[in-house]
Structures are given as C-alpha cells and as structure tokens.
Structure 1
C-alpha cells in the first residue's frame, strides 16, 4: 500500500492576501471552493511539486502562522533563494547546520553559507508567509537510496 503525501493544510488569517503571496511566488492556482456559510478553500501547488497546500476559511482550527518547517526541495538553494528575493520575499541567507545534518528548530545552530562540502540535504534558506507559517528551502542534489 502506498501512502503519498498530497496536501499540507496551512492556517492563514487573510485568504486573499495569502493567495496573492503564493501566486507571486509562481505557484499554480489549482482550485477554489466556497459556500454561502463562509467556508472557503483554496489550493495552490509549488512549481514542480506533486504536493499542494490548502488554506481558507473554516478549513483548519489551527492558529494562523502556527505551521513551521514545511520544506521545499530545490536543486540549487542559492538560486532558489535569489528567485524568492527577486519576487520580494524576505528570505534568510543560505545556511547549514553546525551538526552537518538536518537543521535545528528556529535559528539555533545555523552556520552562515551553504554546507562547505555542498553535501546533498545539508544547505538551507528559510522564509515565512504573511501570517508567519515557516518554510525551508532544502538543497537536494542526489537522493538517498529508495527516494524519488
């Protein structure tokens, strides 16, 4: 049995502002559904991703901005960071973790610059949406065995 992660639900306070933010990143606008009772759902997908995000009104009880650590996998974290900055996003400088492995929560353990050996899975940059939902760019150049 395959279990494929398809959608991440993120809590936002202003649906239209969030639509504008994610579309400005170049994300594909997939769908929008609403009813007369205030329920509204919007789905967008990052370029090249098989998984999407959903947000809206009445979609989640989570506090806006409470989702952290969503990872966007990129081939070149330096180029991806530059792309986001050119789109007006406040994005961190590229960093790696002091352990040389996965990054710590928040900004603890960050070392400036990409991983010195540019090892796959080891270089990052981070940004947040207007509500504070946290995203991490992670550079992956060679997948671990069994990963596609």
Structure 2
C-alpha cells in the first residue's frame, strides 16, 4: 500500500497575509476558494514538491503558529537560502550540528534535527554531508519551517 502525504493544514490568523507570504516565498497558488462566510480554502505547493499546504478559514481549530518542524529538502542550502532572502523571507543563517540524520531532538525553532544538548555550529556541514545543514524560517504567524540540505538520500528514501 502506498501512503503519500498530500497536504498539511497550517493554522494561520490572517489568510490573505499568509497567502502573500507563501507566494512571495515561491509557493505556487493552486486554489483560493471561498465557500461561505465561515469557510475559505487556500492551497499552495512548494516548488518541486508533491506535498502541499492548506490554510484558510474554518479548516482547523489549532492555534495560529502552532505548526512546527516542517521541512523542505533542498540540494543546495546556500542557493536556497539566498533565493528566500531575495524573496524577502527572514531566514536564519546556515548552521549544522555535525550529526545530521541520527539526531532527533527539538530546539527552540521547532527544528527536529539536533540531539539534546548540542549547539548549532555556524555554516554548512564541513563535508556538506546530507541531512546535516539547515536554515530555519517562520511564516507571519510563527509556523516553523526548516530547509535541510540533502545531496544524497539515505537508502530506501
């Protein structure tokens, strides 16, 4: 059985502001439809992704900004960061933890890559190892995103 993740619902407080942010970040607008005064659906897709995001009015009871640890995988962390900055997105500096795939802690940014007690190290991983270099950003509500550089996927991925 194939189980493909199709979309993630993001809790936002201002639908138009969120739409503007994600479009500015390069996400493709797929749908923006108002069904009633209490129900609006906005559906966007990150470039190259098969999984989309949805937000709107009447979609979720989750608190705006409560979605954390959302990852976008890129093959060049420096280029991806520069593009987001060029699009006006406030993005962290590039960092690494030296361990990558084997670490599963959480940090204050909601990033799920680090082991407990590890500090972020400035810059990309020295060997540019897959799953080891990151940047983070937040949407206007505080939903937390990470970009993770993957040059070669782990077996079975």
TM > 0.5: yes
Q: Tell whether 2:72 aligns with 1:62.
A: no
User: How far apart in 1 are the matches of 2:140 and 2:153?
Assistant: 31
Deviation at 1:36, TM superposition (A): 2.3
Q: Which residue of 2 aligns with 1:105?
A: 107
> TM-score, normalization: structure 2?
0.88
Deviation at 1:63, TM superposition (A): 0.4
> TM-score, normalization: structure 1?
0.93
User: How far apart in 1 are the matches of 2:16 and 2:29?
Assistant: 12
Alignment RMSD (CA, Å): 1.5
Q: Which residue of 2 aligns with 1:124?
A: 134
Q: 1:133 to 1:87 in 2, by over 3 A?
A: same
Q: Tell whether 2:148 aligns with 1:135.
A: no
Q: Which residue of 2 aligns with 1:9?
A: 9
Measured against aligned partners, the alpha-carbon deviations of 1:71-129 in whole angstroms (never above 9, x if no partner) come to 00000011101111111111000001254444642256211111111100110000000
Segments of 5+ residues of structure 2 without an aligned counterpart are: 110-117
Deviation at 1:50, TM superposition (A): 0.5
Q: 1:99 to 1:143 in 2, by over 3 A?
A: closer
SS of the equivalent of 2:36 reads coil
Q: Is the 8 A contact 2:98 2:125 kept in 1?
A: no
Q: Which residue of 2 aligns with 1:43?
A: 43
Q: 1:106 to 1:99 in 2, by over 3 A?
A: farther
SS of the equivalent of 1:35 reads strand
